[in-house]
Structure 1
Amino acid sequence: MKENKIFIVFLATVLISTLGFVGSRVYAQTRLADRTEDVQTKKTVKDELGREVVIPENPERILALTSAAMQALFNIEITPVGKVDNYKVSKEGMELPSVGTASSVSIESVYALKPDLIIASSRFHSAIEEELEKTGAVVYYFDPDKVGDIPVVEVTAYIGKLLGKDDIAREYVQSVFKIADELKEKIDFQTDIETGIVIQDGSTIVAAQNASSYGSMLTLLGIDNIVPDNLPNAKKSSFVPLNVESILASNPDIVLIMMSGKNTKNNKAILEKFKSDPQWAALDAVKKNRILILPFSVNPNRSTPEDMVQATAKAILKIAQKADAGTIESEKTIEDHIGRKVTIPENPERFLALQPSIMESLFCIGIKPVGKVDEYKIRKEGIALPSVGSHTNVNIEVVYQLQPDVIIGNTRYQSSILKSLEATGAAVIIVNPESLGERPLIDSVRYWGKVFDRTKNAKEYIEYITKIADKLKQKIERETDIKRVLILQDGDTILAAQKTTSYGSILSLLGLENIVPDDLPGSKNACLVSFDVEKIIQEDPDMIFVIASSNDPEQNKAIIQKFKNDSKWQGLTAVKNNKIVTLPFKVKMGRSSAEEMLRTTAKTILTANEK
């Protein structure tokens, strides 16, 4: 009896294993069968390995095994089912399931994604053709060298045609070429640069081919790449060895060096190594100071083609202008508000401010940050940026993803995460927003304009705001007798706005005296400081603003009534004259622009005076 049971268990185990094997074979055969049915609704093409491939009419699960092909899918409004880890262009793509890197694909992960169509590169994936075929998906191989003269852009047209998305692909490609043509005209007009080379430093100098993304940048900008197309191993890599003698013989007008990381000192050392090398010193590019490190964002794994070409052109124009002027600025070193020496890269492009008021200051001097804190509610373009969390709870992982060159933090909230911020490789500046000048509302703009060489932009903005403030100030002087003011926040303890806060700035710009002294305890650590009723009674302001804690009019009305009913406050001139009012909720840095805050505050004063 026991032997019969053992035999039955054994038989059941064999049967289950057989069914599992048959099931998996049936699944793969079914998928292969699906590929051959309804051939009339599909198209047969020859891929770059010379294989006949039947492309499904409407594939729903497409997997691209290179960053460039992934981005091409996004460009034609197709979201792939997975990613290669090299891809760092968009948040949407970075959040997809991983199949490993472009050069080391995990076949197991590919199986798990059950793709209908796999787009592979003949450069990286020809050795795993059989494994990819076994997944049951249609596998199409493309050759980066054969997708067009500008592969990084035209790969979108190539894949668009393959998938029947010709129109949208063509529209995208034309938009990139339009951007590039405008930049090419600028370079033609402002410089005499005609030839160039993009190199990568290492034990051997390697140079970017024309068919690479980096070589494409030169072609798009009308600069002749001195690297020949027929060098050994040209079909296997984007970069090929090129000796110094060949570079000297071609004598390019500009030399661009790929940035290997965000370590400013390392990048500066690499640049100096080339400049001080006797062989390289003979190049016209070195003699004319036209050798530079490319911005970190110029990388097809990190940026779209349009962003790459714009960043490249900007770097070329800037170095050419400085070279023509006979000066080369080194990185700027400043001391932040916690006593650190911070070196700011010469060409920072990706800024991240972890305080809403500083975000707005960057916009005011013409700098668009790469991300936002959630408290920022002013400009649509700022609100639409990727979030790094709140200014009091920053998501370091997202900061890494945004790859900033410069991070600006607040002494109150980001000092505790300084090491984590520095680990991103960015230059980290920690400041106290209230210590940027006597009137932070505009002095902050002046400060950052000076730090980031945007003094002209800062000056124009400050002149504009000051002009508005002067008109409002004159109107208040003409129509009211209000001169001395207090801005406070209700709570268990009365807190008052200091002169060096955005609230204090508003009063100063409108010609009003803030009754709060500068030397109160805790004044260096907070925007609002404790201020007892006795001192307020002693100073007896003409008007009192109570900061609104919400947009609820009934709640705000109840708070004002509470003050009016309090016997201690009833002796104040402001209360007697009904000049204790709510400061509208939107009057706060991060919620409104400086102009809007000034206009709203002035309107509140004038309206209260009419009553």
Structure 2
Amino acid sequence: MKGSRKIGLVFLAVIAVIGIGLGLVFGFRSTKPRQTKPRIIATTYAVVQIADKLDLPLVGVPTTANKIPTRYKNVAKVGNPMNPNVEKIADLKPTVIYSVTTLKDQFGKAFSKRHIKPYFLNLTSVKDLETTVAQMGKRYQRTTQAKTAISQINQAKRQAKKIALTHHRRPRVLVLMGLPGAAYMIGTNRSYVGNLVATAGGRNVFSSSNQEYIQPNDEAIKKANPDVILRLEHALPKMVTAQFKQAFKTDPMWSTLSAVKHHRVYDLQEPDFDATANMKAATAIKKVSKWLYPQNGGGSMR
């Protein structure tokens, strides 16, 4: 009898332990905070491209002349990348807002007053782009998509390096960034296009330790005498292209340069090129490599 009672007590104890265990499990599940779906706003086209490559949902995209991916065609527009609409952004109740480091100074008091703090992605070089894509892939469980995108960029880099190694001389390159109504700036090795030049095996004739762009200087340009000139059409490309063509036609300084004499002046157009790195980087590297090391030994001015 005592033995039966002992067995019964053990059985009840086991049942109690199991019950407590199940209670803890289900209790934990019921009290575990529910993960909310991210509400992401991309305020620049470069960030939209990254989101598209990573299959990320967006609730806000910039107002731009560039073609927005189909998946975002019905997404709310939040204004110009350099001056996004704070009210629209706040109404969308985002969990995170992405811009780029080069536009950090553009986000001022209007955002602070609404207690909105954008996150600035570093896209100043190809390497920075790869790092950013990898980090976002990890954050949003899109590591497979991130690895695929980075692999495409690395393949283009390897091919460009291979081509450059077959030549004994690195071409001297001048990078210009056109600005609507304000002529142009010179892109140094710190600029994104300057980084593309280095990646493709060229040598930027203007370098800096901390500045992406510097003021033009005719005498310095003439002295540098670049083999290749890359003209970035940043913002309002039609206007900037017309400005470049007019300047190169009317200013006699340009006609003295080797790049102009040998028709090796190229216009860099969106979406393949921009002031910051984007997911067209692989295509951009291939194009710059071809311009620096043309198979036929020459180029064409556009």
User: TM > 0.5 between the two?
Assistant: yes
- The verdict on how the C-alpha distance between 1:262 and 1:316 changes in structure 2, with shifts beyond 3 A counting, is farther
- Residue 201 of structure 1 and its aligned partner are, at CA, apart by 4.5
Shift, 1:109, TM fit? 0.9
Residue in 1 that maps onto 2:85 = 106
CA distance in 1, matches of 2:218, 2:73: 38
Equivalent residues in 2 for 1:414-433 (5 A)? none
Partner of 2:53: 75
CA 1:246–1:59 in 2, change beyond 3 Å: closer, same or farther? farther
Q: CA deviation at 1:274?
A: 2.8
Instruction: Give, in whole Å, the separation in 2 of the partners of 1:136 and 1:272.
Output: 46
Counterpart amino acid of residue 291 in structure 1: V
2: distance between equivalents of 1:303 and 1:222? Answer: 20
Instruction: Give CA-to-partner distance per residue, 1:113-162, whole Å, 9 cap, x none.
Output: 211111233442456466446667664234444xx664455432343355
Change (3 A) 1:154 1:195: farther
Shift of 1:110: 0.4
Partner of 2:226: 252
Aligned partner of 1:323 in structure 2 is: 298
Aligned counterpart, 1:63: 41
SS at match of 1:256: strand
* Contact 1:117–1:137 (Cα < 8 Å) also in 2: no
Corresponding letter in the other structure for 2:132:
V
Aligned: 1:182 with 2:159: yes
TM-score (norm 2): 0.67
Q: Secondary structure at the match of 1:169?
A: helix
User: After superposition, where does 1:486-501 map in structure 2 within 5 Å?
Assistant: none
| SS of equivalent residue, structure 1 residue 280 | helix
Output aligned runs, 1:408-557, within 5 Å: none
CA spacing shift, 1:267–1:72, aligned 2, 3 Å: closer
Q: In the TM superposition, what is the alpha-carbon distance from 1:175 to its structure 2 partner? A: 1.7
Q: Deviations over 1:565-597 (max 9, x none)?
A: xxxxxxxxxxxxxxxxxxxxxxxxxxxxxxxxx
Match of 2:103 in 1: 124
User: Any conservation in 2 of the 1:209–1:229 contact (CA below 8 Å)?
Assistant: yes
User: 1:187-224 deviations in whole A, cap 9, x for unaligned?
Assistant: 55479443312213565431224444322321331223
Tell me, in whole angstroms, the C-alpha distance in 1 between the residues paired with 2:250 and 2:105: 43
Q: 1:91 to 1:112 in 2, by over 3 A?
A: same
SS at match of 2:146: helix
**CA shift for structure 1 position 61:** 0.8
Aligned residues, how many? 264
> What is the DSSP-based 3-state SS (H/G/I as helix, E as strand, rest coil) of the residue aligned with 2:48?
helix
Give the 3-state SS of the residue equivalent to 2:61 in structure 1. Answer: coil
Identity over the aligned pairs, expressed in percent? Answer: 18
Matched residue, 1:199: 176
Q: CA RMSD in A?
A: 4.0
Gaps of 5+ in 2: 1-31
TM (normalized to structure 1)? 0.37
**Partner Cα separation in structure 1 for residue 197 and residue 213 of structure 2:** 14
8 Å Cα contact 2:98/2:119 also seen in 1: yes
CA shift for structure 1 position 311: 3.7
User: Which has the higher Rg, Structure 1 or Structure 2?
Assistant: 1
In 1, Cα distance between the equivalents of 2:201 and 2:217? 24
**Which of 277, 281, 293 is 1:305 aligned to?**
281
Q: Residues 394-431 of structure 1: CA distance to partner in whole angstroms, max 9, x if unpaired?
A: xxxxxxxxxxxxxxxxxxxxxxxxxxxxxxxxxxxxxx
**Which residue is 2:262 aligned to?**
288
Tell me if structure 2 keeps the 8 A contact 1:83–1:94.
no
Query: Aligned-pair distance for 1:168?
Result: 3.6
